[in-house]
Amino acid sequence: MQVTVYGPLRSATGEKTVTLEFDGGTVGDALAAFVAAYPRAETQLYDADGSLRPSVRVLFDGERAAVDAQCPADVTLALHPAVQGG
C-alpha cells in the first residue's frame, strides 16, 4: 500500500510517500500498520485514549474514509494530521 503523508507526519516517515506492507482489512487496520512501521506518528494521529483525533483526515484513493471502512491491500491512503495554530 502507498501512504502519502502531510504536515508534521513527514517528520515521522522522512518522506512524503511511503510503501507499507498491508494485507487488507479496514482503514483502522491500515492506520495500525502505519503506526507500527512509524511509531512517531502515533501522537499525531491518536488521542491519549487511543481514539483517532477528530481533526485527522484519512483519504482512501482520494475519497474521505471512515476508520471502519474496508481497505484493500492495493489502495493509496493519504493522511492529513491535526494542524494546530491560529
Among candidate residues 85, 86, 81, 84, the one with its CA nearest the CA of residue 6: 81
Instruction: Tell me, yes or no, whether 31 lies in a domain.
Output: yes
Q: What is the CATH number of the domain that holds 16?
A: 3.10.20.30
How many domains, in total, are found in the chain? 1
> Per-residue pLDDT tens for 67-81?
999 999 998 999 998
Residue range(s) defining the domain that contains residue 31: 2-80
Instruction: Tell me, yes or no, whether 86 lies in a domain.
Output: no
Rg of the chain in Å (alpha carbons): 12
Q: How many CA atoms lie within 13 A of 68 on its CB side?
A: 1
Instruction: Tell me, yes or no, whether 24 lies in a domain.
Output: yes
Instruction: Tell me, yes or no, whether 85 lies in a domain.
Output: no
Instruction: Tell me, yes or no, whether 10 lies in a domain.
Output: yes
* pTM for this predicted structure: 0.90
pLDDT band (50, 70, 90) for residue 8: confident
Instruction: Tell me, yes or no, whether 6 lies in a domain.
Output: yes
